Chain A
Amino acid sequence: MEKKRYNNIGRGEFLARLGAGSALTVAALAGCKPSTAKFDPYAVDDEDVPTDKMEYRTNPRTGDKVSILGYGCMRWPMRKGDDGRDELDQEKINELVDYAIAHGVNYFDTSPVYCQGKSEQVTGIALSRHARDKFLIATKMSNFSNYSRENSILMYNRSFEMLQVDTIDYYLLHNIGSDIRSFEARFIDNGILDFLIEERAKGKIRNLGWSFHGSKEVFDHILAYHDKVHWDFIQIQMNYSDWHNARGRNVNAEYLYAELEKRNIPVVIMEPLLGGRLSNVPNHISARLQQQEPERSVASWAFRFVGSYPMVLTALSGMTYEEHLQDNIRTYAPFEPLSEEDKKFLFETAELMLQYPTIPCNDCKYCMPCPYGLDIPAILLHYNKCVNEGNLSRSSQDENFRKARRAFLVGYDRAVEKERQADRCVGCKQCNEHCPQRIDIPRQLRRIDKYIEDLKQGREF
């Protein structure tokens, strides 16, 4: 097996891999130790992002060549509109889509409810500028609040209109698995599943599947429909952290994947990066990963992990910035699967991460808008940021307490508007049912609020 471990290469070879010959000379003259060199994933910008090396997976049923990197359309870039409000930045979105397609990405995943209900429209506009055979479109039946047959069909038809297409390549029953009753209410009792099967027969839907967050029992139950319905693909949350240690209401990805592999059902991966939590990691975790692969980004590990499983059709990434897109394209073009040893290393890394008490929020914003105006994801993300940066004090006696306190409090006001902070939570729990990660949001907010009060009031803890 080819070894790429920093431990196993000589110093000269290591520096040469850093890229520049001149750097080598300078470093050698300065007597600089390689271990102090800073690794920047984007320092190789002079190297072109390849346009023709994308890894494709074949859909065994339709023969579609699907790029292993799928574009998640849930996190499109925003900008300040003329009225001062945030709005989607169509111009930027067009550029991102153009760039993605030019570099071989062809799978785009959206939903009627993403981006405050605007995602399908902006994605449709961006894609309509390309030939229909250049992209595969995936969207969903997101009939959460009103699941009458009428409303559901309305939502279905609207997707075609918004996306400006005649066929939908991949259609999903959105976010099922929390309980069987709600699945039946949304898709069985109102006859929507039968309707969608008919639509597939007519060729309006090319592949029918579902996205899953929930318990094992419900997964098994809905998977059992396979014999009758014949699921063309299934979308699951999978990453090296959830493989063995799924948190909240998620099932270990190892189990989910094995079940799907057994039935030969192609798998679409969501949250390969856990909303960035596997990329924005504490320093020593990022050091640990980059020590192994100095030239690769932290995020690349997560993408290579899911790509290393052959049943995976595509891994979705909600890429807001071009840098994200470039980094992910580099990871998958060309793609180099992980060895068993690499995977083991990642599972150990996941165990190390678990020691950091972050809240498993992936910033999907399903909980929003909170009826009482809170900015829930911003609060949780700020908390996680402080955890990762070592600014969450376990005790007021900590050595860096004063610095950590200031970073937490000043950063909090920057991250979250005053009127939308945790102390405003009334505890109505309306958010909890929307959270795919099953976070008890009011409980977490109360815990954070108490911590903030401890900091503000200078209580000993």
Chain B
Amino acid sequence: MLRKFRIVAAAMCFVLITLLFLDFTGTLHAWFGWLAKIQFLPAILALNVGVVLVLVALTLLCGRIYCSVICPLGVMQDIFSYFAGKRKKNRFSYSPAKHWLRYGVLAIFIATLAAGFGAIALLVAPYSAFGRIAHNLLAPLWGWGNNLLAWVAERIDSYAFYSTEVWIGSWATFAVAVATLIVVGYLAWRSGRTYCNTICPVGTVLGFLSRFSLLKPVIDTEKCIDCKRCARNCKASCIDVENHTIDYSRCVVCFDCIDNCSKGAISYTLRCKGTTKSTDAKCNADAPADNSRKNFLIGTALLATSAVKAQEMKVDGGYATIIDKEAPNRKQPLTPPGSWSARNMAAHCTGCQLCVTVCPTDVLRPSAELSTFMQPTMSYERGYCRPECNKCSEVCPTGAIKPISLAEKSSIRIGHAVWKQKNCIVITDDVDCGNCERHCPSSAITMVPMDENNPRSRKIPTINKHRCIGCGACENLCPARPFSAIYVKGFSEHRTL
């Protein structure tokens, strides 16, 4: 009964969280966005004391329910393990805890976070690891499925589906997601919850707490016939039948053993034991952003857009070639409005890719730089930060991007535009333009005659830096290719108008 309840709850959480990473329209977040916000590490990074206390209390009361129900990476491992179990029954056996490994990894994790290499530490963080897998591996499938429906809809004159661009923002992050899936999947396939009980920092912290939990599965030595069926089916390998003990630091309270025991020797009961003391998990990193910008991997992938050969003579029809835009090398990377500073972003972001998933214009993509690896960064080759959108700030579970209203957003300056004369088509093609001025949402650009003495000379843009919010409309819509003639320089600390 308990087991069935656990499975249903876990399945619901898992499906909904996965959908959060698939739903590019961002509508699901209004309903189930909280599922991301109750994740342990994001809640700690967001300094969300309420959620952390509830999770700690839940663990002290019931054990690691979090690991078997709420954590999507945990449930994903159960799915792998379930299918492996179909092939080979009774495949587990008790093994002693590897304390040195667990606490060692946790110590390194905290140390790395504190030292400002959060991006590296977060490779093993469970929620964001799952996010990267879902965003990089499942979201493209979802997108293609949607595009197929959109294709059908278009042919029956329906506007129910619109097509979306499937785009891998960073191949480096994609590679990390694949590697994570392979490692975690392999471990789960072979030996159940090994990852959770040796590597996962959240598992270690909660495991430490669950040793003192109020409710636990307990073996009744009177009834137990030492058949080891429970141990052979324990994915955490934590049931020591010989001594009739269970390692509660590793037990994820899946209730499999209770259902497996034909003698009813295991029960989930109240057993007060020792003192329960609240432990404060010190994962709060206020890591200073490391500004040594070393490209870890240049992984920005651009899907080839159609290129059409130039015409030889003026004939009717056809398209001019569009050269894809290239990202300029921004000394100070752009972070989205609501993140307030590069430091805040580096300190709070777990790199889960939720913001990247919902960004409708492909402005956000995972960073390929070492110090901010997998954390979102902005660039404007594919679109710009639209005035009617604040989705990333709505979905962020960690407080790396804090919630802001559209009105607030329109006054947050994340950077400012700079004009590059040598690229501007007014100079290079000798034509009128002014597309930057026309599309500037904060009227920060004014076109002025190149020759101050000749009001009829071609006009070039001037920028009032104090009015510019850095949204990138000018950069994105600039006709100069592959490098725009106007681009946005980021601020390390955001300002307001």
Q: Does B280 contact A (CB under 8 A)?
A: no
- Chain B residues with Cβ below 8 Å from A116 are 311, 315-318
Residues of chain B in range 101-135 having any CB-CB distance to chain A below 8 Å: none
- Convert B155-168 into 0s and 1s, putting 1 for each residue whose CB lies closer than 8 angstroms to a CB of A: 00001001100000
Docked Cα-Cα span, A89 to B159, in Å, equals 30
Q: Which of A112, A414, A457, A458 contacts B163 (CB 8 A)?
A: A414
- Identify 22 residue pairs between A and B in the complex whose beta-carbon atoms are under 8 Å apart, listed by A's number: A113-B314, A114-B317, A115-B316, A115-B317, A116-B318, A117-B311, A146-B313, A365-B318, A366-B316, A368-B317, A369-B318, A370-B320, A372-B320, A372-B479, A373-B321, A406-B159, A414-B163, A417-B306, A420-B319, A424-B435, A426-B431, A430-B431
- Minimum CB distance partner of A429 in chain B: B432
Q: Does B387 contact A (CB under 8 A)?
A: yes
- Chain B residues with Cβ below 8 Å from A42 are none
Q: Does B4 contact A (CB under 8 A)?
A: no
Docked Cα-Cα span, A458 to B311, in Å, equals 40
On whether the beta carbons of B313 and A145 are closer than 8 Å, the reply is: yes
Given contacts A373-B322, A420-B322, A428-B431, contact A413 B163 (CB under 8 A): yes
On whether the beta carbons of B162 and A114 are closer than 8 Å, the reply is: no
Given contacts A372-B479, A426-B433, contact A419 B322 (CB under 8 A): yes
Q: Does B425 contact A (CB under 8 A)?
A: yes
- Chain B residues with Cβ below 8 Å from A113 are 314-316
On whether the beta carbons of A368 and B159 are closer than 8 Å, the reply is: no
Residues of chain A in range 392-443 having any CB-CB distance to chain B below 8 Å: 403, 406-407, 410-411, 413-414, 417-420, 423-430
Q: Which of B316, B319, B387, B388 contacts A375 (CB 8 A)?
A: B319
Q: Does B9 contact A (CB under 8 A)?
A: no
- Chain A residues with Cβ below 8 Å from B316 are 74, 113-117, 364-366, 368
- Minimum CB distance partner of A117 in chain B: B315
Q: Does B69 contact A (CB under 8 A)?
A: no
- In this complex, how many residues of chain A approach chain B with their Cβ under 8 Å: the count is 45
Q: Does B154 contact A (CB under 8 A)?
A: yes
Q: Does B422 contact A (CB under 8 A)?
A: no
Q: Does A34 contact B (CB under 8 A)?
A: no
Docked Cα-Cα span, A20 to B311, in Å, equals 54
- Minimum CB distance partner of A83 in chain B: B309
Further 17 A-B residue pairs, CB within 8 A, beyond A84-B306, A428-B432 = A112-B315, A145-B313, A368-B317, A371-B320, A403-B159, A407-B159, A410-B159, A410-B162, A411-B159, A413-B162, A413-B163, A425-B435, A426-B433, A426-B434, A428-B429, A428-B431, A430-B431
- Chain A residues with Cβ below 8 Å from B314 are 113, 144-145
Report B316 CB to chain A, min CB distance, Å.
5
Q: Does A216 contact B (CB under 8 A)?
A: no
The majority secondary structure among interface residues of chain A is loop
- Chain A residues with Cβ below 8 Å from B479 are 372, 424, 426
- Chain A residues with Cβ below 8 Å from B330 are none
- Minimum CB distance partner of B307 in chain A: A85
Report A95 CB to chain B, min CB distance, Å.
22
Q: Does B263 contact A (CB under 8 A)?
A: no
- Minimum CB distance partner of B325 in chain A: A419
On whether the beta carbons of A446 and B438 are closer than 8 Å, the reply is: yes
Docked Cα-Cα span, A302 to B314, in Å, equals 32
Report B497 CB to chain A, min CB distance, Å.
18
Docked Cα-Cα span, A332 to B154, in Å, equals 34
Docked Cα-Cα span, A369 to B309, in Å, equals 11
Docked Cα-Cα span, A283 to B438, in Å, equals 36
Report A199 CB to chain B, min CB distance, Å.
22
- Chain B residues with Cβ below 8 Å from A420 are 319, 322
Most chain B CB within 10 A, of A371, A403, A420, A458, is at A371
- Chain A residues with Cβ below 8 Å from B432 are 426-429
Given contacts A145-B313, A410-B159, contact A457 B435 (CB under 8 A): no
- Chain A residues with Cβ below 8 Å from B305 are 417, 419
Docked Cα-Cα span, A428 to B477, in Å, equals 15
Q: Does B183 contact A (CB under 8 A)?
A: no
Residues of chain B in range 294-344 having any CB-CB distance to chain A below 8 Å: 305-306, 308, 311, 313-322
- Minimum CB distance partner of B308 in chain A: A85
- Minimum CB distance partner of A458 in chain B: B388
- Chain A residues with Cβ below 8 Å from B438 are 446
Q: Does A17 contact B (CB under 8 A)?
A: no
Given contacts A84-B306, A413-B163, A425-B435, contact A457 B315 (CB under 8 A): no
Report B474 CB to chain A, min CB distance, Å.
12
Q: Does A230 contact B (CB under 8 A)?
A: no
Docked Cα-Cα span, A85 to B432, in Å, equals 31
Report A84 CB to chain B, min CB distance, Å.
7
Report B409 CB to chain A, min CB distance, Å.
12
Given contacts A85-B308, A369-B318, A375-B319, contact A427 B434 (CB under 8 A): yes
Q: Which of A117, A144, A424, A456 contacts B477 (CB 8 A)?
A: A424
- Chain A residues with Cβ below 8 Å from B319 are 368-370, 373, 375, 420
Report B159 CB to chain A, min CB distance, Å.
5
- Convert A332-367 into 0s and 1s, putting 1 for each residue whose CB lies closer than 8 angstroms to a CB of B: 000000000000000000000000000000001110
Report A139 CB to chain B, min CB distance, Å.
14
- Chain B residues with Cβ below 8 Å from A115 are 316-317
Report B150 CB to chain A, min CB distance, Å.
8
Q: Does B465 contact A (CB under 8 A)?
A: no
- Chain B residues with Cβ below 8 Å from A413 are 162-163
Q: Which of B163, B313, B317, B434 contacts A365 (CB 8 A)?
A: B317
- Chain A residues with Cβ below 8 Å from B321 are 373
- Minimum CB distance partner of A419 in chain B: B322
- Convert B405-447 into 0s and 1s, putting 1 for each residue whose CB lies closer than 8 angstroms to a CB of A: 0000000000000000000010001011111001100000000
Most chain A CB within 10 A, of B305, B320, B383, B429, is at B320
Q: Does B386 contact A (CB under 8 A)?
A: yes
Report A420 CB to chain B, min CB distance, Å.
7
Docked Cα-Cα span, A117 to B315, in Å, equals 5
Docked Cα-Cα span, A66 to B313, in Å, equals 33
Q: Which of A117, A427, A456 contacts B386 (CB 8 A)?
A: A456
Residues of chain A in range 108-161 having any CB-CB distance to chain B below 8 Å: 112-117, 144-146
On whether the beta carbons of A427 and B154 are closer than 8 Å, the reply is: no
Docked Cα-Cα span, A369 to B319, in Å, equals 5
- Minimum CB distance partner of A405 in chain B: B159
- Chain A residues with Cβ below 8 Å from B311 are 116-117, 369
- Minimum CB distance partner of A391 in chain B: B159
- Minimum CB distance partner of A430 in chain B: B431
Docked Cα-Cα span, A173 to B40, in Å, equals 77
Docked Cα-Cα span, A364 to B315, in Å, equals 11
Most chain A CB within 10 A, of B318, B438, B477, is at B318
Report A109 CB to chain B, min CB distance, Å.
14
- Minimum CB distance partner of A115 in chain B: B317
Report A427 CB to chain B, min CB distance, Å.
6
On whether the beta carbons of A373 and B435 are closer than 8 Å, the reply is: no
Report B160 CB to chain A, min CB distance, Å.
9
Report B30 CB to chain A, min CB distance, Å.
17
Report A456 CB to chain B, min CB distance, Å.
6
Report B386 CB to chain A, min CB distance, Å.
7
- Chain B residues with Cβ below 8 Å from A114 are 315-317
- Chain B residues with Cβ below 8 Å from A403 are 159
Docked Cα-Cα span, A419 to B429, in Å, equals 19
- Chain B residues with Cβ below 8 Å from A406 are 159
Docked Cα-Cα span, A423 to B476, in Å, equals 10
- Chain A residues with Cβ below 8 Å from B383 are 418
Docked Cα-Cα span, A397 to B275, in Å, equals 65
Docked Cα-Cα span, A370 to B310, in Å, equals 11
Docked Cα-Cα span, A243 to B409, in Å, equals 54
* 6 tightest Cβ-Cβ pairs between the two chains A and B: A117-B315, A365-B317, A428-B431, A145-B314, A426-B433, A410-B162
Docked Cα-Cα span, A168 to B460, in Å, equals 51
- Chain A residues with Cβ below 8 Å from B386 are 456-457
